[in-house]
């Protein structure tokens, strides 16, 4: 499967449909983006069970701003609608393939439990019971 072009109009649907979604934030003028593109395409072809998407930061400035994209290329990974990874910089093919395997191997029930625990900890203890 070729990569999917994401825009503000189809972004939410792509993320919320479930499964694994890799996103390459890029721009036409970006040299490192152009160098990373063939690596990203090869790994996408090897993993048809994963959605590999691209977002052109020049065309989707509002979306890039919403996600705080300040450097490109930036790789972002979602699984089952949960953001798992975001890192600027081009990756070597071996590193990208390793990320694919790690994301596939994640126990998402454990991830959800961990997120719930972090949210509870951030909220702090509830009010003291009155006597």
Residues catalogued as catalytic = 30, 33
Beta bridge partners of 23: 53, 76
Q: DSSP secondary structure string, 30-92?
A: -HHHHHHHHHHHHHHHH-TTSEEEEEETTTTHHHHHHTT--SSSEEEEEETTEEEEEEES---
């Amino acid at each position: 499967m070729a990569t999917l072009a994401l825009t503000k109009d189809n972004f939410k649907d792509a993320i919320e449909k479930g499964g694994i979604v890799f996103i390459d934030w890029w721009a036409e003028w970006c040299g490192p983006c152009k160098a990373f593109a063939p690596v990203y395409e090869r790994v996408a072809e090897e993993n048809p069970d994963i959605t590999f998407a691209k977002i052109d930061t020049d065309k989707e400035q509002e979306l890039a701003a919403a996600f705080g994209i300040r450097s490109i290329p930036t790789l972002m990974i979602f699984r089952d609608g949960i953001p798992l990874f975001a890192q600027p910089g081009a990756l070597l093919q071996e590193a990208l393939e390793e990320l694919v395997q790690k994301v596939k191997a994640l126990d998402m029930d454990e991830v959800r439990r961990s997120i719930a625990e972090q949210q509870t900890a951030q909220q702090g203890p509830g009010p003291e019971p009155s006597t």
